[in-house]
Structure 1
Amino acid sequence: MPGEEGLFTEGVTQGLSAAEVAERIAGGRTNDVPSRVSRGSWEIVRANVFTRINAIFGVLAVIIFSTGYLLDGLFAGLIVANSVVGIVQELRAKRTLDRLVIVGQVRPTVRRDGVSREVPPGELVVDDVVEVGAGDQIVVDGEVLAAEALEVDESLLTGESDPVVKHPGEEVMSGSFVVAGSGAYRATKVGRESYAVRLAEEAGQFTLVDSELRRGIDKILKVVTYVLVPAGALSIYNQLSGSQALPDALRGMVAALVPMVPEGLILLTSVAFAVGVVRLGGRQCLVNELPAIEGLARVDVVCADKTGTLTENAMRLAEVRPLGEPDVAPETVLAALAAADPRPNASLLAIAEASPPAPGWTAGSVTPFSSARKWSGASFGEHGDWVLGAPDVLLDAGSAERAEAERIGARGLRVLLLGRAGPAAGAPGGVTPVALVVLEQKIRDDARETLDYFAEQGVAVKVISGDNAVSVGAVARTLGLPGADTPVDARTLPEDPGQLAGELEGAAVFGRVTPAQKRAMVAALQSRGHTVAMTGDGVNDVLALKDADVGVAMGAGSPATRSVAQIVLLDNAFATLPYVVGEGRRVIGNIERVASLFLTKTVYSVLLALIVGVPGLIGYDAVPYPFLPRHVTIVGWFTIGLPAFVLSLAPNNDRARGGFVGRVLRTAVPAGIVIGAASFTAYVLVHSGATDQVQASTTALITVMALALWVLGVVARPYTWWKAGLVAAMVLISGLMFVVPLSRRLFLLDPGNGAYTLTALACAAAGIVLIELSRWIAGGLRRDRPAAAANFDGGR
């Protein structure tokens, strides 16, 4: 590596020996920080087996088995099914995540036995010598041993936005990252002793992506829990205090309690997320935090960096255009500058590849490139001081050379200025222009298609780049981005957050944006109620990625960028984002569907328990509960369980929207009340004139099945061929349950009385009318609400 000998001392160059590393490993002095993504296999098994719902069902199953009616304990199969399905899907997701984490892992460079090599972060040991350069993350705490203009950003840990210049002997902390320069540090604290790990554990500095779906389900389950306690207690009292035999009373009690529990909702939510992880893993997309899949589906603004996102990260030197008649060949100076930087960026790499070596040019001091400065430079003794950077930063506004650079940049090319620098502390001083360096960037083949997709979906795209605004605008124009004709130079933007938000709403392309401005832009958009995704690959994107609702990093990006992002596109394909959005929409839309099914069952079960139980409390004869446990089991199978599992994994391109809990309850509560009332009406009409409890139960069951299947049909809308087939199959199977002699005998069904069956169908027909009427009224109320209320509920 050029300039390496001048940077490292002999002790630093050697690093630890193999024997010293082995000694520290044996002593447990390693960086044993657990993965933040994947939990262990035993934890997965335990989390899926030892659940509150399994415990409830286990107790109820023991009660039923004690009565000797084994078929009434069929619901116990849900314990096995829930556990097995959850374990299998989570293990699949774990394998996918573990494989992708290894591929996308930040691998620090250490020196051992005088040789530099990359190692997994878990293999670092105390006293390891770690080399760093621009874009690298500080993975463990340490002491700086060597530094060449080393600047470290500690804002993710301390909140201070300005980079800190580090000198030998000073401390660096894990969780910070290098923004400029290069150096080496000795690991002093590893594993759980390091600063970032302690901060994460004690102060919660690093938080999970916010998930409306997760919060909504938690809220629903909390409400259900509060309702279950009195309804369950009433059912127990009613069934055990009546004149029934104890086994029959216990069966009625269990039949009342089992359907109140939305047993599959949490399972199917976990399965939907896990399947999403596996599907995206097949596209080389690493999801560091599962709710990020949901978050990206809710995004309405995407802030995209130009370099590495819309364009390829690699560049090619297209032209070196001398300005006047320089006394030294610009190509020679460029080669010397490229050789002087120990960690060259993409521009210097392209220059080095096209430039011949420059013998005799030895750099005395080097100022590496940083996104905040927009230039780099070096002093070459008798050859003078030279700078390479943005023409609009190094030159005055009225200069002819700057105007020429703007003209070239308008074609979408990157233009740098090579100039002689005058003496000045911490700045290039007066710059004498020598040449314009023109670099070409290839636009990604998939960029236009991806931007078109977001435009169709109503997602605004803001191109935010550190490059010249005119050049960025030219690239965006090529891709057909609306608003690309009027690019904005970020140096003219106001600092006031409110005014900045207004500027961002009205423009789409911004150039010369500093890292701090990118962060401020994300915050300004969020202040206007937008859900913001930030994509990037460079160290200048780290702060904005951290603050965005969803941070998306390219796999070839800097280690610091990948470490703070929730989603990493390991194949660097910008076109993968629509698939991530699609997975998020599938998860959100399908869980909303199945949540409506499960909660409808909970509502009508609680209502039935109250209707049956209240008369017994006020002195009337207790009415036996209409159903046996085997009845509620088959209702759950064919109107909820099987169809919900299919619906939860099906394609769903509906745009994500807020108000998850409200929409679920608007479907489930009216439908549940109607089903409970209709089924009890049919039960009472038959029970009052029948001597056979089986016929009364069968009549109520027909009503429940018919209405529950209708709700399934409502939830499955809009229909596709497979949805229509799914509903038809459930209707057919449910009908056969009442026709096939074996199933009638096993499930104690007797639909032989035609009058009773007509009563059930009449009650079901009335219930269907009421369900559709409630949906029509609810839809009309939503349409009549003010715009602000509609927006609060997600705009639909």
Structure 2
Amino acid sequence: MTDRVATSPARAQGLTSAEVADRTARGEVNDIPVRSSRSAADIVRGNVFTRFNAILGVLFLIIVAVGPIQDGLFGFVIVANTAIGIVQELRAKKTLDSLAVVGEARPTVRRDGRATEVVTSAIVLGDLIELGPGDKVVVDGEVAEADGLEIDESLLTGEADPVLKKPGDEVMSGSFVVAGGGAFTATKVGRGAYAAQLAEEASRFTLVHSELRGGVSQILKYVTWMMIPVAVGLIASQLYVEGNDWREAVRRMVGGIVPMVPEGLVLLMSVAFAIGVVRLGRKQCLVQELPAIEGLARVDTVCLDKTGTLTEGGMDVTELRVLDGADETHVRGVLAALGAADPRPNASLQAVIDAYPAEAADDGAAGPRCVDVLPFSSARKYSGAALSYDGDGRGEHWLLGAPDVLLPPGHPELAEVDERGARGLRVLLLARTERALDDPEVAASVEPAALVVLEQRLREDAGETLRYFAQQDVAAKVISGDNAVSVGAVAAKLSLPGSERPVDARELPREPERMGQMLEDGSVFGRVTPQQKRDMVGALQSRGHNVAMTGDGVNDVLALKDADIGVSMGSGSEATRAVAQIVLLDNSFATLPSVVAEGRRVIGNITRVSTLFLTKTVYSVLLALLVVIWRVPYPFLPRHLTLLSTLTIGVPSFFLALAPNTERAQPHFVRRVMRFAVPMGIIAGAATFVTYIVARHHYGGAGAREAETSAATLTLFLISMWVLAVVARPYTWWRIALVLAMGAAFLVVLVTPSLQSFFALRLVGTEGPWTAVGIAVIGSLVVEGAWQVIKRRPV
């Protein structure tokens, strides 16, 4: 640091209550609502006004015009599905909004001379807002007080280096404090603030960057374009075959087009994501972006910050070892003064304050008085203070920080530091320096005075969580700013593989390729700077890894921002919560497995049920093409395929999509789904068309249309049921019961006269139906054989 400004002698009082009330009445208030989710109106519009609701809505109106109404059953299914989507997303919105309030920042403002925490929306123009390490600048303003105030503006400017701020300098909302403290006056609030302008362009509740949704959208785009020529071909074919019976031709055309649209797949995906948010919300996990559920399930490497993640925030001083004959009483007084000088101590300094309160320095003589402060910075690894002793004119400059940073390599005291670090203890060095605090080389030559030994508190659930990741083939990398040996000892207590070989990050190469190789080989890394954390995440990503980063401190922000998934603790700084996609509001590292499990459930189950929807699309397209080529009537009415879709896809997929699923997420969603759906759809469509042609030959005559359709429906249902049985594997009692229940429901339709009439299904004779069953058996055996071949071939 080359320029420092001490705290202003006269402490500003801030606005009065009357001034706050007056400005609030004038509308000069930061009244931008926190948007954690879409509005209710947006949810309704998003579920109602979709491309496929428009297509199927038009087809439904056509059926209403030409009749009968039972051929328009798919229209009522659309209404029901849309209603389910709206209700589920509204439930997710309620959960998100309530959790967002819990995790919302509460800045400290100075009013009537007193510091008070308020909600962000209560800030008014001219408010004096206090700042400390980790605090986010919530509105635009001008610095009024600064004490070594360093602000990171990388989220706004892309510049990674913190900017030293002095009184009169501008600060913008969206930046955050990395060192020092101070206060600023709000100059722009509400929609005029920079952060609010950014919020107008992007909402937190987003469905972008999702391979699932992107893959489905790609599939649906191609299906939409296929529907147009198929519809033209079908209507022309049906008019040619049926002569002037245009109503029947239109019904058959609609029957061929409707099953091509996998409209339920988009809905089911939204419902699965929304329910995932609700489930995680009940576990105090705030998902700020829905794809984060999917993203964390795809992660193969988790980078963990030790402090606050593997260990609890609190520490205890276990030993004070005085060096080189220093006076222990004097050392205790210096530590007490250092603690009292910092209004926002970190966990290490708080432990020192608890062990050596300011009263301990008062032994009858004048205690040291702090006249200047060098705030702690994770980049420097130390803090400092200038102390003065009343009455004797003496002045001293002290530093408190990492021994291996303050002492030169090979110093005798470092061996003792390493020995304690190997036992998982954290060691701070108290040292005197002759240089001024604003000297960039203030730590160049110091005089050691004492070692302060701290013990960290391990999280009870950390070991179990690490074992979960190991079982799921997710590599855990502990990346910390602490001494590498100490970090390795903590990791060893948690049985992390590779903890016996900790790496000092200062020895890491700068080249991403070489760094990535060392990161893959190691598990524990100490003395990592904030910029290095960011570089390490990038190096792992350059080697094809999906990386999640967890943390709670300001030094984690850059890495959290660049990681594929950022996970912040709820008690972490506002800056970390702002850039993270997932916030663990209960500060429990053990919640992460739940997020991974939820993501795997969503991905695995959506992949599973997608094959059902797209198998239907494939056989629908094939049947339409065969009908046009053979110039025969389309075998099905819309009601037939509505029944088949409900029993073999709609109802089963709803249950399958919400079932537990622990399969590891795999890439290439479209390829994985289509390599199953295409052959299964071709087999089902070909077998159904064969049955239809055989039935036409067997029954013949103008009045046999219902018998021909019923035989084809029976074959398609049985093969679709076998496809469902394949997709439902591995079997559990409820999955077997689900398949049997769908089969029983179809049987009820076939044997109930009123349902036979409603769905126009009636099996005639014995030869035709048993032929349909035989063809279905052959088709099902081919499906099984194709499945056995497909699952053995890599994607």
* TM-score, normalising length: structure 2: 0.94
CA contact (8 A) 1:638 1:730 kept: yes
The answer as to 2:448 corresponding to 1:433 is yes
Among residues 691, 704, 727, which one is paired with 2:716 in the alignment?
A: 704
Moved more, 285-294 or 254-263: 254-263
CA contact (8 A) 2:304 2:477 kept: yes
1:230 is aligned to: 229
1:454 is aligned to: 469
Q: Deviations over 1:566-593 (max 9, x none)?
A: 0000011101000000000000011111
Q: Deviations over 1:397-451 (max 9, x none)?
A: 2222221111111110110001111215122342111111011111110000000
Moved more, 469-478 or 761-770: 761-770
Could you tell me which runs of 5 or more consecutive residues in structure 2 were left unpaired when the two chains were aligned.
1-5, 389-393
2:556 is aligned to: 541
CA contact (8 A) 1:141 1:188 kept: yes
CA contact (8 A) 1:209 1:292 kept: no
1:618 is aligned to: none
CA contact (8 A) 2:307 2:313 kept: yes
How do 1:647-666 residues align onto structure 2 when only pairs under 5 Å count? 647-666=656-675
Moved more, 54-63 or 473-482: 54-63
Q: Which amino acid aligns with 1:724?
A: I
CA contact (8 A) 1:331 1:356 kept: no
Q: Distance in 2 between matches of 1:199 and 1:595?
A: 36
Compute the RMSD of aligned alpha carbons.
Answer: 2.0
> Residues 652 and 523 from structure 1, CA distance in 2 versus in 1: closer, same or farther, beyond 3 angstroms?
same
Find the residue that maps to 1:146 and give its secondary structure.
strand
Q: Which amino acid aligns with 2:401?
A: G
Q: Deviations over 1:147-183 (max 9, x none)?
A: 0000111122212221111000001122211110000
Q: Distance in 2 between matches of 1:175 and 1:69?
A: 60
Q: Distance in 1 between matches of 2:620 and 2:26?
A: 60
1:311 is aligned to: 311
How do 1:623-634 residues align onto structure 2 when only pairs under 5 Å count? 623-634=632-643
The answer as to 2:402 corresponding to 1:364 is no
TM-superposed CA distance for 1:383, in Å, is 4.2
Q: Distance in 2 between matches of 1:658 and 1:106?
A: 36
2:654 is aligned to: 645
The answer as to 2:521 corresponding to 1:522 is no
The answer as to 2:350 corresponding to 1:349 is yes
Moved more, 346-355 or 96-105: 346-355
Q: Which amino acid aligns with 2:749?
A: M
Q: Deviations over 1:21-41 (max 9, x none)?
A: 334334433334453421111
Q: Which amino acid aligns with 2:104?
A: Q
Find the residue that maps to 2:317 and give its secondary structure.
strand
Among residues 564, 582, 589, which one is paired with 2:604 in the alignment?
A: 589
Q: Deviations over 1:166-211 (max 9, x none)?
A: 0000011222111100001111223333334445667999997632
TM-superposed CA distance for 1:264, in Å, is 0.4
Among residues 387, 400, 411, which one is paired with 2:399 in the alignment?
A: 387
TM-superposed CA distance for 1:226, in Å, is 1.9
Q: Distance in 2 between matches of 1:279 and 1:288?
A: 14
> Residues 209 and 114 from structure 1, CA distance in 2 versus in 1: closer, same or farther, beyond 3 angstroms?
farther
Aligned length: 772
CA contact (8 A) 1:289 1:566 kept: yes
The answer as to 2:439 corresponding to 1:410 is no
CA contact (8 A) 2:107 2:117 kept: yes
CA contact (8 A) 1:48 1:82 kept: no
2:339 is aligned to: 338
TM-superposed CA distance for 1:713, in Å, is 0.7
Q: Distance in 2 between matches of 1:99 and 1:623?
A: 58
Among residues 725, 733, 745, which one is paired with 1:713 in the alignment?
A: 725
Q: Which amino acid aligns with 2:71?
A: D
1:119 is aligned to: 118
1:16 is aligned to: 15
How do 1:164-563 residues align onto structure 2 when only pairs under 5 Å count? 164-198=163-197, 210-241=209-240, 242-243=242-243, 245-327=245-327, 328-357=329-358, 358-359=361-362, 360-381=367-388, 382-424=394-436, 425-426=439-440, 427-563=442-578
Q: Distance in 2 between matches of 1:699 and 1:518?
A: 65
Q: Distance in 2 between matches of 1:650 and 1:460?
A: 27
1:789 is aligned to: none
Find the residue that maps to 1:362 and give its secondary structure.
strand
1:787 is aligned to: none
Q: Distance in 2 between matches of 1:68 and 1:159?
A: 62
Q: Which amino acid aligns with 1:78?
A: V
> Residues 712 and 203 from structure 1, CA distance in 2 versus in 1: closer, same or farther, beyond 3 angstroms?
closer
> Residues 280 and 203 from structure 1, CA distance in 2 versus in 1: closer, same or farther, beyond 3 angstroms?
closer
Moved more, 471-480 or 351-360: 351-360
1:42 is aligned to: 41
CA contact (8 A) 2:206 2:289 kept: no
CA contact (8 A) 2:205 2:288 kept: no
Find the residue that maps to 2:385 and give its secondary structure.
strand
TM-superposed CA distance for 1:111, in Å, is 1.6
Q: Which amino acid aligns with 1:652?
A: N
Q: Deviations over 1:2-52 (max 9, x none)?
A: xxxx83576x63222333333433443333445342111122122212222
TM-superposed CA distance for 1:343, in Å, is 1.5
Find the residue that maps to 1:169 and give its secondary structure.
coil
> Residues 438 and 728 from structure 1, CA distance in 2 versus in 1: closer, same or farther, beyond 3 angstroms?
same
Q: Distance in 2 between matches of 1:80 and 1:204?
A: 28
The answer as to 2:784 corresponding to 1:772 is yes
Q: Distance in 2 between matches of 1:30 and 1:677?
A: 68
> Residues 349 and 701 from structure 1, CA distance in 2 versus in 1: closer, same or farther, beyond 3 angstroms?
same
Q: Which amino acid aligns with 1:475?
A: V
CA contact (8 A) 2:698 2:768 kept: no
TM-superposed CA distance for 1:638, in Å, is 0.3
TM-superposed CA distance for 1:781, in Å, is 4.1
Q: Deviations over 1:443-468 (max 9, x none)?
A: 11000000000001111000000001
Q: Distance in 1 between matches of 2:458 and 2:753?
A: 68
1:677 is aligned to: 686
> Residues 103 and 347 from structure 1, CA distance in 2 versus in 1: closer, same or farther, beyond 3 angstroms?
same
Q: Deviations over 1:40-75 (max 9, x none)?
A: 112212221222222222222222122241111111
> Residues 452 and 113 from structure 1, CA distance in 2 versus in 1: closer, same or farther, beyond 3 angstroms?
same
Q: Distance in 2 between matches of 1:345 and 1:443?
A: 17
> Residues 209 and 528 from structure 1, CA distance in 2 versus in 1: closer, same or farther, beyond 3 angstroms?
farther
TM-superposed CA distance for 1:645, in Å, is 0.5
CA contact (8 A) 2:36 2:205 kept: no
The answer as to 2:7 corresponding to 1:7 is yes
TM-superposed CA distance for 1:135, in Å, is 0.7
Q: Percent identity?
A: 59
Q: Deviations over 1:92-151 (max 9, x none)?
A: 101110111001112211122222222222222222211110011111221100000001
Q: Distance in 2 between matches of 1:152 and 1:384?
A: 28
Find the residue that maps to 1:522 and give its secondary structure.
helix
The answer as to 2:756 corresponding to 1:749 is no
> Residues 483 and 438 from structure 1, CA distance in 2 versus in 1: closer, same or farther, beyond 3 angstroms?
same
Moved more, 549-558 or 427-436: 427-436
The answer as to 2:772 corresponding to 1:760 is yes
CA contact (8 A) 2:502 2:523 kept: yes
Could you tell me which runs of 5 or more consecutive residues in structure 1 were left unpaired when the two chains were aligned.
1-5, 616-621, 783-792
